[in-house]
Structure 1
Amino acid sequence: MARIDVRTDVALADPVLVEGLPGVGLVGKIAADHLVEAFGMTHYADVHCESLPRSAAFGPDDRGIRTPVRLYADQGRDLLVLQSDVPVPPRAATEFAECIADWFREESVVPVYVAGLTRERPVEGTAGEADEKQRKVFGIASGSGAAILDRTEVPEPDDAGIVSGPTGALLNHALATNLTAVGLVADCDPQFPDPLAARAVLEEGVAPITGVDVPTDDLEEHAGRIQRAKERLARQVREEDENSSQAQRLRMYQ
């Protein structure tokens, strides 16, 4: 049965939620994990949906097990994070979207969905400059999400495209039900975990939307370690490409 089991009493007003499902470049996953760690967020709720794999997750220095998809909360920042240790199977994406998004509406949650966009070509400049320029972020929205983005400097997309996978299903459900939602799309490296793309999402998207100052120095300083730690999950996402959330450009003439 689909349900959200709240574990602890946290007072939230109209929280913003950052979604962290594994996808191309693991952009959302890395950003969500970083927020949970950087802010010491509270394990707020367990997500039980029929579509999710029947599995149990565990963490370091703790004998307890937990659901693979969880919600974390920060009362002071009025912030929620959806943290996932598993990809959502493509056949189950719609059911998962209905399961989680209906709860968003009931609790007045504004979800921020994150998708990686495979970068097309290298850009000119020094290695560092090129690296930064390739990680552009733009915003898309449903419901009143456009008004939220208009209050920030998050740019509009400069090309046509489509978001697929579980994040695409979540955005599609938001559109179909007129749910206020924001999508952040970041250029990323599709072959490896991309912590610098996650940093761009946090600095250029999440921070201005939430008004929360997000520390991101660790994402740059420990980019190599983060890539190695996430490589196994990234490999699984690549091998099951249709499972992964990703944004793709659409070309009229190719």
Structure 2
Amino acid sequence: MARISVLDDGVSLDEPTLIEGFPGVGLVGKIATDHLIDAHEMTHYANVHCDGLPPVAVYQEGEAAATTPVRLYADPANDLVALRSDVPVKPGAATEVAACLDSWFEDADLFPVFLSGLGREKDDSPPDLYGIATGNGGEALARTGVEAPSESGLVSGPTGAMLAAALEADRDAVGLVVESDPKFPDPEAARTLILDGIDPIAGTETPTDGLVEQATEIRSAKRQLAEQMRQATEESSQAEPLKMFQ
């Protein structure tokens, strides 16, 4: 049965910003949300039970309690919620998972920020960041100074399905698309997401030095998941150029 199981009823949120972190190209969404959770010492707020998610239990180093592979973390002081996912979502389940989460987004009066990587070979220049919006999400996007995409494209995977649900319901949401390494975890792109996109929208100040200083360790720790995503790109949340009609 699809549900969001709240673990801490004492957490008080008032129209929070939600940052979504399903694994995708460069694992940028996951790296960004994992870092937000650690940097802001966010509380494990809820477990996500959605039809379509892998029926597995996850355990953490140093903790005996098993939990779900997709979880929500909260920071009441910053009115911030982060979705952390330790697993990819199968292609056929993306719509089902999106519908499960979208109904909770509406009930909780959340403003979602969806994160995607756009595969680009790395060079010495900083990764470009683009923004798209649904509903009145453009008002929040305007606070960032992030430019509109420089080419036509589409967002796929669970992130694309959630953006499509927001579009259909005319619900306010923002999608951030950052150029990312197509083969390996990309902490630099995740840092760009946080500094230039998430912080201005959410009104947060997130220290990101660790993403640069620990880039090698981050890539090593997340390499296995990145390889899994690369071998099954249809499971990824990702942005890609739309060239079929051009």
Is 2:122–2:181's contact at 8 Å kept on the other side of the alignment? no
Residue 50 in structure 1 maps to residue 42 in structure 2: no
Aligned counterparts of 2:64 and 2:2: Cα–Cα separation in 1: 26
Shift of 1:152: 2.6
1:112 paired residue number: 113
Shift of 1:151: 2.7
Choose the corresponding residue for 1:172, options 164, 167, 191.
164
1:80 paired residue number: 81
1:227 paired residue number: 219
Change (3 A) 1:122 1:21: closer
Q: Deviations over 1:108-149 (max 9, x none)?
A: 101100000011x566xxxxxx242xx111110111111111
Structure 2 spans left out of the alignment, 5+ residues? none
Aligned counterparts of 2:222 and 2:30: Cα–Cα separation in 1: 9
CA RMSD of aligned residues (A): 1.2
Aligned counterparts of 1:103 and 1:250: Cα–Cα separation in 2: 31
TM-score by length of 1: 0.94
Misfit runs of 4+, over 4 Å: none
Choose the corresponding residue for 2:179, options 175, 178, 187.
187
Change (3 A) 1:131 1:92: same
Matches within 5 A, 1:232-251: 232-251=224-243
TM-score by length of 2: 0.97
DSSP-derived class of the 1:108 partner: coil
Residue 212 in structure 1 maps to residue 210 in structure 2: no
Aligned counterparts of 1:10 and 1:104: Cα–Cα separation in 2: 16
DSSP-derived class of the 1:66 partner: coil
1:2 paired residue number: 2
DSSP-derived class of the 1:11 partner: coil
Aligned counterparts of 1:61 and 1:122: Cα–Cα separation in 2: 36
| Structure 2 counterpart of 1:155, one-letter code | E
Aligned counterparts of 2:6 and 2:221: Cα–Cα separation in 1: 29
| Structure 2 counterpart of 1:6, one-letter code | V
Residue 17 in structure 1 maps to residue 23 in structure 2: no
Q: Deviations over 1:17-61 (max 9, x none)?
A: 110100110000000000111111000001000110000011111
DSSP-derived class of the 1:248 partner: strand
DSSP-derived class of the 1:57 partner: coil
Is 2:144–2:196's contact at 8 Å kept on the other side of the alignment? no
2:71 paired residue number: 70
DSSP-derived class of the 2:117 partner: strand
1:96 paired residue number: 97
DSSP-derived class of the 1:153 partner: coil
Aligned counterparts of 1:122 and 1:203: Cα–Cα separation in 2: 19
